Structure 1
Amino acid sequence: MKIFMRPNSFWQDQDFVVDNEWRANPDIVKIPIYETNYYEAYASKFLEVYFSCRATTEFKQSVQHEFDFYPIDGNYYRHLSTFMFGDTTVLTNPYQLRNTYQYFTFQDVTGNNINTYDHIFEIGGGAGDFAKFILRNGFKGEYSIIDIPSTFKVSKKNLKGYNVNFLNKLPAVIPKNSLLISTWGLSEIPLEERTVIQEDFKGGIIAYQQQIFGVDNAKYFKDWKGCRLNMPWVAWDGGSYFLSW
Structure 2
Amino acid sequence: TMYHQTDETEFNFLKSQPNWEWFKNAMINEVPVFYPEPYFAYRPTNSNTVHHAYHIAQLLKYTNININKLSTVFEFGGGYGNMCRLFFNLGFKGNYMIFDLPIFNELQKYYLLSLEMPVVSDSIEGMDKNNNIILMSDIKNILDDFCNKGLFIATWSISEVPIYFRKKIFKIIGNPDYFSLAYQNNFEEVDNVKYFKSFCAEKKNYLWHDFEIEHLKGNRYLIGEKIK
Q: What TM-score range do you get, normalising by the shorter chain?
A: 0.7 to 0.9
Task: Extract unaligned runs of 5+ from structure 2.
Answer: 119-132, 201-205
1:43 to 11, 24, 34: 11
Higher relative contact order (CA 8 A, sep 6+): 1
Q: In the alignment, which residue of structure 2 is the partner of 1:96?
A: 49
Query: Cα–Cα, structure 1 residues 61 and 94, in superposed 2: closer, same or farther, change >3 Å?
Result: same
Q: In the alignment, which residue of structure 2 is the partner of 1:244?
A: 223
Identity of aligned residues (%): 24
Alignment of 1:1-245 (within 5 A): 34-40=3-9, 42-49=10-17, 52-56=18-22, 59-70=23-34, 72=35, 76=36, 79-83=37-41, 90-160=43-113, 161-163=116-118, 164-168=133-137, 169=139, 170-171=142-143, 174-195=146-167, 196-197=170-171, 200-223=175-198, 224=200, 226-235=208-217, 239-245=218-224
Q: Distance in 2 between matches of 1:173 and 1:166?
A: 14
Query: Cα–Cα, structure 1 residues 209 and 158, in superposed 2: closer, same or farther, change >3 Å?
Result: same
Q: Distance in 2 between matches of 1:53 and 1:152?
A: 31
- 1:53: how far off? 4.8
Per-residue deviation, residues 107-142 of structure 1 (Å, max 9, x unmatched): 111122123221110000011111110011110111
Aligned length: 195
- 1:91: how far off? 2.4
TM-score w.r.t. the length of structure 1 is: 0.71
Per-residue deviation, residues 20-44 of structure 1 (Å, max 9, x unmatched): xxxxxxxxxxx9x84424241x122
Per-residue deviation, residues 169-191 of structure 1 (Å, max 9, x unmatched): 23467545321000011001111
The answer to whether the 8 A contact 1:69-1:158 is kept is yes
- Root-mean-square deviation (CA, aligned residues, Å) is 2.4
The answer to whether the 8 A contact 2:185-2:193 is kept is yes
- 1:90: how far off? 4.6
The answer to whether the 8 A contact 1:45-1:100 is kept is no
User: SS at 1:101's partner residue?
Assistant: helix
The answer to whether the 8 A contact 1:229-1:242 is kept is yes
Q: Distance in 1 between matches of 2:4 and 2:155?
A: 16
Give the letter for the 1:55 counterpart. Answer: E
Task: Extract unaligned runs of 5+ from structure 1.
Answer: 1-30, 84-88
Q: Distance in 2 between matches of 1:46 and 1:194?
A: 31
Query: Cα–Cα, structure 1 residues 231 and 202, in superposed 2: closer, same or farther, change >3 Å?
Result: same
User: SS at 1:159's partner residue?
Assistant: helix
Q: Distance in 2 between matches of 1:119 and 1:46?
A: 24
TM-score w.r.t. the length of structure 2 is: 0.76
Q: Distance in 1 between matches of 2:31 and 2:134?
A: 24
Q: Distance in 2 between matches of 1:188 and 1:39?
A: 27
- 1:208: how far off? 0.8
Q: In the alignment, which residue of structure 2 is the partner of 1:5?
A: none
Bigger drift between 94-103 and 59-68 goes to: 59-68
Query: Cα–Cα, structure 1 residues 177 and 212, in superposed 2: closer, same or farther, change >3 Å?
Result: same
Q: Distance in 1 between matches of 2:33 and 2:7?
A: 20
The answer to whether the 8 A contact 1:117-1:177 is kept is no
Per-residue deviation, residues 75-104 of structure 1 (Å, max 9, x unmatched): x4xx32343xxxxx6522111111221112
Q: Distance in 1 between matches of 2:6 and 2:148?
A: 38
Query: Cα–Cα, structure 1 residues 149 and 126, in superposed 2: closer, same or farther, change >3 Å?
Result: same
